[in-house]
Structure formats: structure tokens, C-alpha cells
Structure 1
Amino acid sequence: MVDSRKPATIAVHAGRPDRAADQPVNVPITMTSTYVAGGELEYGRYGNPSWAAFEEALGELEGGRALSFASGMAAITTVLDLVGNDALVVAPQHSYTGTQLALGDLEARGRLRSKLVDITDTEAVVAACEDAALVWLESPTNPALEIADLAAIVAAAHDSGAYVVVDNTFATPVYQRPLELGADIVVHSATKYISGHSDVLMGAVVVGSDELYGVLKGRRDLQGAIPGPFEAYLALRGLRTLPLRMERAAANAVELVRRLDGHPEVAEVRYPGFGAMVSIVMTRGALAADLLVHKTQLWLHATSLGGVESTFERRRRWKAEPTTIPEGLIRLSVGIEDIEDIWADLSSAFDRLG
């Protein structure tokens, strides 16, 4: 049966306990490492009611079955671990640095081969899919905010016999449900928008296939890349307001983009048209970008994103960032503060660049 409820409703109601007299409205935090024998759980590495509630809610939002992990990287590396020896993985040339570092490490050890592509060149990506075992996608990409033709690439990848993974961290299921476009696996850094308050490290995968679910759960059980029950509780608590937070942050982002467009200190504004991530390229390059991120009072200079607070950073300060990302590019995660306060702080920082 197709769930006809809207994301805001699913986020609030999914993963709740049964409605019975004197039952709690929220699933309690279950702090245990083992269970009485004879049931399905048996041991703390195999499952926890706190994870299960979070997984139910995220799974319903994405339209599949979810598994929670200790971090986004734990989710990413678990999925990559499924790739056969010497198999080819196609991935965006601009994507999360952790993904690129994981691919580079596996390739250096002879585990797999990788090919990085311009995700906006659909024809080139389709051609690269021909020999691939796995196609890894981001849309929007991090931090270039490029958009892929997901439906076309997914279809081409499947025609070639490849599985398709979409990192949906930036878009969230509020704006994009890759499983509906044919993707096999969705990956999240739940640290970001899903939990939304910069106080949780967690990851997740969501799949549409019971077979893939079983395989990935088996890998998680074996490797032990599990979240703590308190982290899962906090992630679910944050997820309850995901659509509301995204609505406010995206409205702020749209207005911020309007005000940044044509600003003399900004050579380029990159915004995919949805969500709350914006990238700008400074007219005067890296030095101006480094100065700007240290001149604000409200905007926080930090590498993570997706919290209620506005954060930003110059991405090329990280050595692993691709050289095709401009030196003066600043990635902005627009928060839910009042837009006038966000703009006043940023505008004042521009004015103090000298």
C-alpha cells in the first residue's frame, strides 16, 4: 500500500509506539547490551528499539527500509564494502570528501577501481556506466551544488547491470526520494539535516529491496558499525521537525541568494533551486574567503552543516578537496535564524573586508 501522507505528517507520526492506554508517546531510550534469549534481538549489536523507531521513521520518509549506522562514513564504507574485487565504481568528481577518500583508499589497496565523472554531463556519465558495478551519485553535489539527471543515469546504470547509490544528505527526503527514481540504495549522513541540531554523529542507508536490506544488515551486524541508543533517540527527535526546519532554512536560502546575486564581492552564486545549501565564489579569491569566514558574529565557521544554525567555510582549506573546486568557494549551510539577522551579519562582514 502506498503511503499517501505528506512528509511533514510522516515525520511527526512514524516510529511511534502503539496507541494504547498509558503507553508513552515516544519510544524510550533502551540502554542494554544484551537481551533475554529466545527472541529476535539476542544481542545489542543486532538491534535496539531506539534504532528501530528511527529506522521506521526515516524509511517511511524515503519510501524504503532503513538501517542506522554509527556515522555517515560508516554507512558509506559499508555500502562500498559490497563492491567486488577489481570492480568499477563511477562517482562524481565533486562529492563528499569522505566518499572520495574512501574510494581512493580502496583503489590504492587494489580492492576496486573508480572513475570520477562530471555529474552534469549525462551523456558522459551514461557512457561511464557501461562497465560499472556501482554508480554513486550526489545531487546536489558537495560543495559544487551541481544537479544530476538522476532518472536517466539510474536507467542507464541498471541497463548495464550496475547498482545505484544516491547520497541524499543535502536534498533530504523532503525534496527528493531517489528510490522512487529507481535508485537501489540511499545514503544519509544523519549527522546533518536528519538530526538537524549539530549534536549527533549518525549515518543511515535506505533500500527498496528486502534482499539488499538483509545483506547490509548482515554487514552491519558483522562489522559493528552501530549507533548508540541515545544518538538514535536524538536523531529521531530531530527528524520530527525536518520538514519544518527545511521549509524555514530553504526560504532563508532563497532570499539570501537573491541578495548575494550581483554583490561586488561575489563572482558566482550557486544554488540548485531547493534546499538550504548555497555556495559562493568570492571575487577576490581565497584570501577574501578566508577573511570573510572570520569576520562574522552570527555565522559560524565550521565544516559540518545541516544544523539550525548558519555555518560556512572555504572548502579548499581542506587538502583533499578537488582542485576543480575554486579556491575562493565558500559553502554556506543556511540556518533557521531570522533572515534579516543572517543577512546583516554577512553583509557587515563583506563591508569589513577592506
Structure 2
Amino acid sequence: MDRTPRTRAVTAGRPSAAGQPMNTPIVPASSFVAGGAHTYAREDGTPTWEALETAIGELEGGQATAFASGLAAVAAVLDLCEAGAEVVVPTFSYVGTREQLGHAARMGRLKVRQIAPDDTTAWAQASREADLLWIESPTNPTLDLIDIAPLTGRRARVVVDNTFATPLGATPLAAGADIVVHSATKMIGGHSDLLLGLTVTADETLARELRSARTRTGATPGVLEAWLALRGLRTLPVRLAEQSRTAALLAERLAAQPAVTRVRQAGTMIAFELPDAEAADRLCERLDLVVHATSLGGVESNVERRATWPGDAHVPAGLVRFSVGLEDPEDLWRDLVQALG
């Protein structure tokens, strides 16, 4: 029976046989009795990891592999590249990914090229010439959109970081992407209480290679973290819908503020710009309800001026990344207004 993504987020990976628990339990085991499907967790996984992987795989349309963090998932994907491969990444993108690519370039293992998210001609050319395109859509933190479908099916392998969109907002594998990456730390987990990464691919060979990379490097998720991510996934549809509605409302109101020079909104995220770094820092310090903190995707709203991070100095100095939570939108708006002064 066909089921909507909202329903699958609740049901996928859930036990169904008579007498089983309603939800996959935490299985804190490193070793298993010989003769079954599991022998050693690093090699074969655990029932808890597998339930999360099944659920994410169903939503994305491929085979999922869970990792210790989003950056561990990124490292596993880059590990698939041959020495000397050229990787293309947006100029505005997650700083952790660019740090990994920069390290690989300095070590002489990869060639790295950055392209502006809106340079469609350069992206099209890169899809015919490069070995791997690393795409974020929307980008972090500027919320630029990159059209994936025209870049697939050519020479370059296409990898999409789907953290911001989530599997409910976009399914890049259906658009022709080869691999999807998630930081489940963010929207999937949804409560700022875990670190976990995911890869998903519909290619059997790539799925085996990614699983092998996890085994080889020991980048395995904690069983509690996997269970928390699965539990977070169950409420993702309602959280995403409510937080996105609030974000759209706040973005509209921010755009009308004289002090705000530019606003972009995608899903639960808002990127808005103030005239300079001082104005943005002042706002972050004056907010009371909205938390001044890094990361995103939790039930609580938080802001950060991204240009303060090493590696993100090229981000507009006054840009504030706003992750919208589940608080009452009017309370959030009053807090923003008083902080804007």
C-alpha cells in the first residue's frame, strides 16, 4: 500500500510482528552470540542502527548508513574519491565540509574548486569535467538554491547534503543524485541532544563502499544516539510543518524592517542581513527568548552570525542565520523587535 512521506516517517523501521515492542528498543551490544545476523557491531551494525537506516532509506529512496556524526558521513563519501580527483563545492556551504576538502587539498589527495551557488553555467560545465559535485540546496548559511536535476547523469558524481531540506522537503536521489548526506544532529534529531550522520544511495556498490568506510574507520554511531534520531524522525513531519510556517511569517515581517537589508527563508531556516557586523552582534546579544548558539534544527530557536567562524569570513558580515523553533511565533517576533531596537 502506498503511503505518504509523513506516514512513512512514523512507520518505517518499526517492528510489526505479534509480541514485538511498538518501537525498536535500544540494543546496547557490541558483540552477539555467533550464528545469527549480527556478530560484532562495528561490522554488522545493531538492530537500533538498522531501524533508523531502514526508516531514512525508505524516505530517501535508497540504502542508508548511519555514522557517528554528519562530518563522519562527509568523510566517508570523500573517502570514495580516487587520489587527485576534482571536487566542486559551493562557495557558500557548510564550513566543516570545506574544512575537510581543504585538508585533503593541502595533503595533495584532492583538487578542490569552489563555485558560486548561482553560477549555473559553471556548475553545468563542472558536471561534465569534475569528478564529484558536492551540492547543498539550500546552502548553509546563505540559503541559495541549486537545481540538482540538470547536473546529474554526466561525468561527475553528484552528492547532495540534504540536511536543511530534510527527506520530507527534497528527495535528491529521485532527481538523479548519487549520494545524499544528512547531519541527523539537526532537523531529523530535532532536539539538540545527539550527534549523528547518515548517507543514502540507491547504488548497491556505493552502499557497500560507504558501509565499508564506516567499518574501516570505526565511525559508528552510538546506540542511544541512533535511537534518539529515530524517535526524532517520528515527529519530523509536524515539527517541519509548524516551524516552516513560523519561519515564513517571521521572514515576511523581517523583510519589512528598515534595519534589515535582505531576507531569505527556506523551510525552518531564515538568513537575514543587517547593515554590518556590529549590528548583527548587537542583535544576537540582545535576544532573550531566541538562543545565541551554533547548530540548528532543534525545537528551540537560535541565531548565529556565521562570519565569526574561521572559514566563513567570506559570508556577509551582517548575516544572521536564524533556526526557527517551536515557540509561539508572536513571542519570537516580540523578541526580535526588541533586539532590533
Residue 302 (structure 2) aligns with: 311
Query: 2: distance between equivalents of 1:213 and 1:15?
Result: 18
Which TM-score applies when normalising by structure 1? 0.94
Q: Give 1:196 deviation, angstroms.
A: 0.4
**Residue of structure 2 in register with 1:255 after alignment:** 249
Q: How far apart, CA to CA, are the structure 2 residues paired with 1:159 and 1:251?
A: 37
Q: Count the aligned residue pairs.
A: 340
Shift in Å at residue 129 of structure 1?
A: 2.5
Which residue number corresponds to residue 268 of structure 2?
276
Q: 2:150 corresponds to which residue?
A: 152
The answer on whether the counterparts of 1:303 and 1:313 sit within 8 Å (CA) in structure 2 is yes
1:24 partnered with 2:15 = no
- For 2:93, the equivalent position in structure 1 comes to 95
For the 8 Å contact 1:120–1:149, the answer to whether it is kept is: no
SS of the residue 1:236 aligns to? helix
Three-state SS of the structure 1 residue aligned to 2:192 is coil
Query: Which residue in the other structure is 1:225 paired with?
Result: 219
1:14 and 2:9 are equivalent in the alignment: no
Percent of residue pairs bearing the same amino acid type: 50
Residue 41 of structure 1 corresponds to: 38
Aligned twin of 2:320? 330
The answer to whether the Cα contact below 8 Å between 1:122 and 1:153 also exists between their aligned partners in 2 is no
* SS of corresponding position for 1:135: strand
Equivalent position SS for 1:159: coil
The correspondence for 1:290, drawn from 270, 281, 287, is: 281
Q: Distance in 1 between matches of 2:37 and 2:47?
A: 12
Aligned partner of residue 271 in structure 1, secondary structure: strand
Distance in 2, Cα, partners of 1:335 & 1:212: 35
Within a 5 Å distance, the mapping from 1:126-205 to structure 2 comes to 126-154=124-152, 158-160=153-155, 162-205=156-199
Q: Deviations over 1:140-164 (max 9, x none)?
A: 000011001111122xxx322x211
Deviations 1:205-264 (A, max 9, x none): 011111111111111111110001111000000000001100000000110011111201
1:322 Cα deviation from its structure 2 partner? 4.5
Instruction: Name the aligned partner's letter for residue 236 of structure 2.
Output: L
What letter corresponds to residue 224 of structure 2 in structure 1? F
Q: C-alpha separation between the residues in 1 aligned to 2:309 and 2:198?
A: 25
Q: How does 1:112-127 map to 2 (within 5 A)?
A: 112-127=110-125
Equivalents in 1 of 2:201, 2:2: separation in Å?
Answer: 19
1:319 positional shift? 1.8
Give unpaired runs (5+ residues) of structure 2: none
* Equivalent AA in structure 2 for residue 336 of structure 1: L
Structure 2 letter corresponding to 1:280? F
- Provide the C-alpha distance between the structure 1 equivalents of 2:89 and 2:2, rounded to a whole number of angstroms: 33
| 2:213 match: secondary structure | helix
Runs of 4+ in 1 over 6 A off after TM superposition: none
Q: Does 1:207 align with 2:212?
A: no
Structure 1 residue 8: Cα displacement:
1.2
Whichever residue aligns with residue 335 of structure 1, its letter is G
Aligned residue type for 1:204: L
- Give deviations 1:244-298, integer Å, cap 9, x for gaps: 10000000011001111120110111124xx111101102x10010011011111
Asked whether the 8 Å contact 1:89–1:132 carries over to 2, the reply is yes
- State the alpha-carbon separation in 2 of the partners of residues 214 and 41 from structure 1: 17
Amino acid in structure 1 at the alignment position of 2:298? G
- The DSSP-based 3-state class of the residue aligned with 1:253 is helix
